[in-house]
A = this chain, B = another copy of it.
Amino acid sequence: MNIAILTFEGFNELDSFIALGILNRMKGKGWNVQITCPSDSVTSMNGVKIQAQQPLEFANNADVVLVGSGVYTRDIAKDSHILDRLKLDPSKQLVCAQCSGALLLSVLGVLNGLPACTDLTTKPWVIESGVEVLNQPFFAKGNIATAGGCMSSQYLATWIIAKLAGNKSAESAIHYVAPVGEKDSAVSHSMSIVTPYIEALDAA
């Protein structure tokens, strides 16, 4: 399972790394989670420089694409040099966005009429791009999922694992990362957020 976490210049550390950490709980089952960037390295919104693990094109054949967030997303949403390198296909991939990543899914035409979750700062820009923004942490339909608010990236990871490897694996991943003394409640809560959208798919 190849998973591309799209991470751009000015990226939000929480949005890329919470998902990366949780999804890597599946590393032992062969999941290959990769920080995927338009350049050899990118520097976060708070000045941390990281090396790309994969070039942007890795996303086009990945099983899962998770578009991270950052402070330059509005510029990236107009940058054809970056956008033209992406050929995402939700009929063949899970395509997810965290916070301002929803704006990129919108301009890439992936949302195709679906409502989306995003952060409060990005919300007006996503609305301006023609997408209904939901006042909730997570939404998914079919192979497309969006989450709003940095810490919601745990829900994206939960949904991806539950959808591709089952609820038990998702519960185990959240149990591991959850605070000591709060593990059972954290698992219940995360599963309560994402399960309705998996059932909806199964019933569809």
Residues on A facing B (Cβ under 8 Å) = 12-14, 17-18, 20-22, 24, 27, 33, 35, 45-51, 53, 117-120, 135-138, 147-152, 154-155, 176-183, 186
* Top 3 closest pairs, chain A to chain B, by CB: A137-B179, A148-B180, A149-B179
Copies, count: 2
The 8 Å CB contact of A180, one of B137, B176, B186, is B137
Are the C-beta atoms of A180 and B48 separated by less than 8 Å?
no
Are the C-beta atoms of B48 and A20 separated by less than 8 Å?
yes
Interface residues of A: mostly helix, strand, loop or mixed?
Answer: mixed
Smallest distance from the beta carbon of A44 to chain B beta carbons, Å?
9
The 8 Å CB contact of A50, one of B27, B49, B147, is B49
Chain B residues positioned under 8 Å from A20 (CB to CB): 13, 46, 48
User: Could you list some 18 contacts between A and B, CB below 8 A?
Assistant: A14-B18, A14-B21, A14-B22, A17-B18, A17-B48, A20-B46, A20-B48, A35-B48, A48-B51, A49-B50, A50-B50, A50-B51, A135-B181, A137-B181, A151-B154, A151-B178, A151-B179, A152-B180
Apart from A137-B182, A149-B182, 19 more pairs, CB < 8 Å: A14-B18, A14-B21, A14-B177, A18-B18, A24-B45, A49-B50, A50-B50, A50-B51, A120-B180, A136-B180, A137-B180, A138-B179, A147-B179, A148-B180, A149-B181, A150-B178, A151-B154, A151-B179, A152-B180
